[in-house]
Structure 1
Amino acid sequence: MSDLPKVFEDVEKMQYSLPMKYYRDHISYTKTLQLIKTSANGSWKTGLLVKERILGIGTVTIYDPETNTYAALGHQFSDGDFSDILDLTSGNIYDSEIIGIKKSTNGTPGEKIAEIDESEPIGDIDKNNQYGIYGQVDKIPKKEGLEVAKIEEVKLGDAEIWTVMNGSQVEKYKIKITNLKKQESIEPKGITFEIVDKELLKMSNGIVQGMSGSPIIQNDKIVGAVTHVLVDDVKKGYGLYIQWMLQEMK
């Protein structure tokens, strides 16, 4: 991206337009880019929004120590300026610490506020799709493993989400699973739940951005991951069955 200004140094000879090649859905396109000269300082503008990278906060859901692979988020990693799933050429994951919470209100989901340690990545991103981000990981704190629940084992009623609301300490919070979809193949939003934990509601008033990927635990088994908030009722949200995330890890 730092090379872009050099393209326009001799723009007067290019008759105010440039040939441009771009890719969408892995298909190559060629277009002519019209340039506009500003009256303020005579600089040239393209009208393009160009980003060298994007950054976000989320939660690793599951990690396989035998293969050093992980799954996170449970939905695609996206950017507010772009509506489509991003075709990432590369990416990394980093350690972070939560330093604050912007509370959710109905109609306006809140968010975790974090400091990201970009000094050293702890893993990479190989895949970004509507079911999460996936890749290899180098450094994950060692924890006791959990059994994985099959879809038919997940029940309505009491469960927990495990997530970080302060610093880097994972805490357990109570939820109620209120609806379960029978799914024969991978689909989003198979689990519907509501936060009932008073402490969590006091801190966040509901689901906030950054909780995506937080494991859903029931009967000492991991059953899914938090993926979406119901915007009109931020105490309620959706989850993806863990079985589908394991399928995507392969």
Structure 2
Amino acid sequence: MNRRKTYWCGVVAAILLIGTAQAADVIPLGIPAGVRMTAEGVVISSMTEIDTPAGAVCPGEEAGLETGDILQTANGVGIDSSETLADVVHNSEGKPIELVGLRGETNISVSVQPVQSTSGDGYQIGLLIRDSMAGIGTLTYVDPKNGDFGALGHPVTDVDSGARLPLETGSIIPAQVVRVEMGTAGKPGELIGTYDFSTELGKLEDNTARGIFGTLTDTSLYAGQSTVSTAEPEEVHTGDAEILSCVSGAQPKRYAVCIEKVTPDASDCRNLSLRVTDETLLETTGGIVPGMSGSPIIQDGKLIGAVTHVLVNHPDRGYGILINNMLDATG
């Protein structure tokens, strides 16, 4: 049986809940931006076996840890970086280490026994972890009254484990698309960007299953632009629409798409099934590629949602989230 594979545009999305957001007047953006954030704890990206005199072992796995777990304390010490955890392990003198953290929304607590490797690198517990990330995405909308923005339409996740990163600090920085790797059947493409880490466009305040949210401090990104209304789910229909996206430089353009199916009650962010019909975009990117996550979807003059991911075997097709689900995530 053939199964359609999906590839999240930028980072993996998680399950959403259908909400009851009120229609709002916002400015669709479609602007590429760098997303920079540090996690509240460290994420187990993968595990590795350690060669010891007694054979190869992975203490973390033997203790019951899993990839995607978030580690927050080690022997009562707050873990804010990979270096902090490495110091605790190095100074353990071989005694068990009590690790506390999260697995999804569930609290976990395990005791890990460090081992010494035959390579002479001191005590280790076999965990490869990540404490921060940076990548390119697309800003979906901004409320000009207060600068509140939404982007991506899915969470920022660990690239290896797929775990949603609990946000500690984050910011939005300028980005430009300098190159496109075209998507083909079975091989997702990608937007390749450059970033200006010396400048901050806004603060990232929440990393949710339905997008990332915060406040833009650089009003020049949307000054003088007109607002549009957000659509209620019952207003969204199959047929012609447009996405606002940037595949070169920093200025977005409108590209034609067709909404082929609307599923307001979908439980996995796949509210909108869409197909790229714009010949220019197809010739440039092959359709939808990672990095286009968050591109606003416009229909009948209203903002109806945002692009979230692409079908790997059909790069001209993808999915989107309804805008009211993004608005609901802001509380």
- TM exceeding 0.5: yes
Instruction: Report deviation, 1:148.
Output: 1.9
Q: What is the aligned counterpart of 2:181 among 102, 117, 121?
A: 102
The amino acid that maps onto 2:147 is: N
The amino acid that maps onto 1:61 is: T
**1:30 aligned partner:** 109
| Counterpart Cα distance in 1 of 2:329 and 2:100 | 32
Question: Are residues 1:205 and 2:283 paired?
Answer: no
**2:147 aligned partner:** 68
**Residue 122 to residue 20, structure 1, CA distance change in 2 (3 Å):** same
Q: What is the aligned counterpart of 1:191 among 272, 276, 283?
A: 272
Report the RMSD for the aligned CA atoms in angstroms: 2.1
- Give the secondary-structure state (helix, strand or coil) at the position aligned to 2:240: strand
Contact 2:306 2:322 in 1 (8 A): yes
Higher relative contact order (CA 8 A, sep 6+): 2
Contact 2:174 2:195 in 1 (8 A): yes
**2:260 aligned partner:** 178
Q: What is the aligned counterpart of 2:242 among 160, 185, 191?
A: 160
| Counterpart Cα distance in 1 of 2:100 and 2:227 | 48
Contact 1:18 1:33 in 2 (8 A): yes
Q: What is the aligned counterpart of 1:122 among 191, 201, 207?
A: 201
**Residue 20 to residue 211, structure 1, CA distance change in 2 (3 Å):** same
**1:6 aligned partner:** 87
**Residue 149 to residue 34, structure 1, CA distance change in 2 (3 Å):** same
Q: 1:89-122 deviations in whole A, cap 9, x for unaligned? A: 2221111011111111222211110111111322
Q: 1:47-106 deviations in whole A, cap 9, x for unaligned? A: 112222012211111100112211111111112222332222222111101111111122
Gaps in structure 2 of 5+ consecutive residues: 1-80
The amino acid that maps onto 2:205 is: D
Gaps in structure 1 of 5+ consecutive residues: none
- Give the secondary-structure state (helix, strand or coil) at the position aligned to 2:328: helix
Instruction: Report deviation, 1:160.
Output: 0.8
Instruction: Report deviation, 1:124.
Output: 2.0
**Residue 81 to residue 217, structure 1, CA distance change in 2 (3 Å):** same
The amino acid that maps onto 2:180 is: I
Q: What is the aligned counterpart of 1:148 among 219, 230, 233?
A: 230
| Counterpart Cα distance in 1 of 2:113 and 2:298 | 54
| Counterpart Cα distance in 2 of 1:30 and 1:153 | 47
Q: 1:28-62 deviations in whole A, cap 9, x for unaligned? A: 44322222323234433221122220122111111
Query: Between Structure 1 and Structure 2, which shows a larger proportion of strand residues?
Result: 2
Instruction: Report deviation, 1:192.
Output: 0.9
| Counterpart Cα distance in 2 of 1:182 and 1:81 | 30
- Give the secondary-structure state (helix, strand or coil) at the position aligned to 1:244: helix
**Residue 5 to residue 189, structure 1, CA distance change in 2 (3 Å):** closer
Q: Which of structure 1's runs of 4+ aligned residues deviate more than 4 A?
A: 8-11, 25-28
Contact 1:194 1:236 in 2 (8 A): yes
- Give the secondary-structure state (helix, strand or coil) at the position aligned to 1:208: coil
**Residue 138 to residue 33, structure 1, CA distance change in 2 (3 Å):** same
| Counterpart Cα distance in 2 of 1:132 and 1:54 | 16
| Counterpart Cα distance in 2 of 1:157 and 1:67 | 33
How many percent of aligned residue pairs carry the same amino acid? 32
The amino acid that maps onto 1:163 is: S
> May I ask how many residue pairs the two structures share in their alignment?
247
The amino acid that maps onto 1:226 is: V
**Residue 204 to residue 5, structure 1, CA distance change in 2 (3 Å):** same
Contact 1:69 1:249 in 2 (8 A): no
**2:317 aligned partner:** 236
